[in-house]
Structure 1
C-alpha cells in the first residue's frame, strides 16, 4: 500500500505518509498487518501466474532463476524478498527513502541480494524486466494511466505484469477503509476510497496501454478461510497481464 514512483504520478503527501510507517513494515502486528495477511494470498496467485506464463515447473523451489523482477512501490520489500527467494534478480523502487532504508536493512539481515532505489521510477535509468509488479499501489498515484505507461515501459516484450488493488465498492469502503482503520489493520489516512479503481476501469486503462489481462481474481475474506483467492472481487483483486501482440 505504498505510493508509486513515476515522474508525474508520485503523490508527495502519500509518500510521506508511508515513509513515516517504515519502521513497522516488517512487524506482522504493526501498521502493515493487513499487508502481511495479504502477502501469502498474493504469492499463491503470483506463483501460478509465473508458472503459466514462463512454462515453469509448479514444484520447483526456485522458478525464477534467470529472470529479472521489478517491484514498483515496493515499501520495505514484502514482495521483493519472496521473489528473490524464488530465484529472481530483484529490483525494488519506492517513492519514500525511509522505506528503501528499511528494505535494504532487512534484505541484508536475510542475506538477499536485492537492489533498492528511492524516487521516481522514470528517473532510475532502469531497463526492462521479465516481471513487473505493483501491489496495492495504483490507488495511491496521481495519474493511473501515466503510471501504467511507466510499468509497460519496463516490461520485456514477453514480460509478465502483476497488479493488485482494492475495488471501489460499498463493501470496500466499509471493510477496507472504515473498519480496518478503526481496528488498526491499516493506519488511518492510508486509503482514499474515491481513488480505488474498479476492475472495469483498470481493464480499460490497461487496454488503452496495449496490455491484455491474462487472469484476474478477487481476494475475499471469510471467517472460516480468512483472506483467499475468489471470484468475488468486492474487496480487492489481483491480476496478471502481458503486452498485446
Structure 2
C-alpha cells in the first residue's frame, strides 16, 4: 500500500499506541493500553461462558484455556463494534472465533490489519476488519452474528452512547447475544475512575472520561428490551494495579459489584414460526 509520509507517520503512532513497547512513552499512556490488554482476561471469560451457555445451550465453561491449541469459540461468528487496534479481535480469533471487526477510525483499522500481518503472516486467517460506522454496517449485515461485542466504547461517544445500541443489536441473529462493557454512572465510578485513576494515581490521562457519559445498567437493559432482547447477566469487574513490590501491573477481577465497571449481556428472542 502506497502511503504518504504524513499517513505513514500517523500509522506508526497508532501502532506504537496499541501494540508498542516504547519505554519513552508517557507511563499514563502505556498504562491505559496495558489496562485494555489485561482486561481481555475477564472479557474472554465472559464471552466464552456466554457463547457456551446461552448461544449453544451447553454447560457453563468455567475457565478459558488460552493455550495455542485451545479453541473454545470454534464455530462462533462474532462481530466486534469499535475494535480499535485489534486487541480483543485478535484474542477472539486465537480462541477459534470467526471475527468481523469494525471501527470508524481509518488509522485504527489499518493498524489492526498491519499488526495481524506482521505477527501472524498473510496465510493465517485473522479478523476481517472494516472501516465503517455501526449504523451503516448494521444496515448491510442485519442478523448475521452469533454474538456482537461492544466493549469500552459507549462511554467515550460524543453523543449519547445509548443511541448506538439499537444498531449494535440489529447485527445479532435470533437466539444470539449482545455483549457490552462500560462504566456505571455512579458515585463509586466518579470517585474511583475520575477522582483516583485520573487525578490522583495518574494511571490514565486526566479527562479521559466524562461522568455524564457513563451509563447505568438499567438504561442499556431498557434499550435492548425494546430491541427484542432479554438481559441475562450483569457482571462487575474492577482493576487492581499494584503488586506486592509496588510495581504497576493492572489486573482485572470479576465481582458482583457493578458500581464502577460492568458487563451487560442480553439474548435476542428466538422467533417461533407456527404452521397449519
Q: Give the structure-2-normalised TM-score.
A: 0.73
Which consecutive residues of structure 2, in runs of 5 or more, have no partner in the other structure?
1-12, 22-26, 244-249, 271-276
1:126 to 133, 137, 141: 141
Judge conservation of contact 1:70–1:129 (CA < 8 Å) in 2.
yes
Over 3 Å counting, the alpha-carbon distance change for 1:234 and 1:147 in structure 2 is same
RMSD: 2.5
User: For the residues of structure 1 that align with 2:18 and 2:155, how far apart are their CA atoms?
Assistant: 19
Q: Give the structure-1-normalised TM-score.
A: 0.82
Judge conservation of contact 1:131–1:160 (CA < 8 Å) in 2.
yes
The Cα of 1:49 is off from its aligned counterpart by 1.3
Question: Residue 199 in 1 paired to residue 217 in 2?
Answer: yes
The corresponding residue for 1:14 is none
The corresponding residue for 1:180 is 197
Which consecutive residues of structure 1, in runs of 5 or more, have no partner in the other structure?
1-19
Other structure's SS at 1:188 match: coil
The Cα of 1:145 is off from its aligned counterpart by 3.8
Other structure's SS at 2:19 match: coil
1:160 to 173, 177, 180: 177
Judge conservation of contact 2:169–2:224 (CA < 8 Å) in 1.
no
Greater relative contact order (Cα 8 A, min sep 6): structure 1 or 2?
Answer: 1
Matched length: 226
Judge conservation of contact 1:34–1:185 (CA < 8 Å) in 2.
no
The corresponding residue for 1:140 is 156
Over 3 Å counting, the alpha-carbon distance change for 1:144 and 1:213 in structure 2 is same
The corresponding residue for 2:49 is 48
Over 3 Å counting, the alpha-carbon distance change for 1:185 and 1:99 in structure 2 is farther
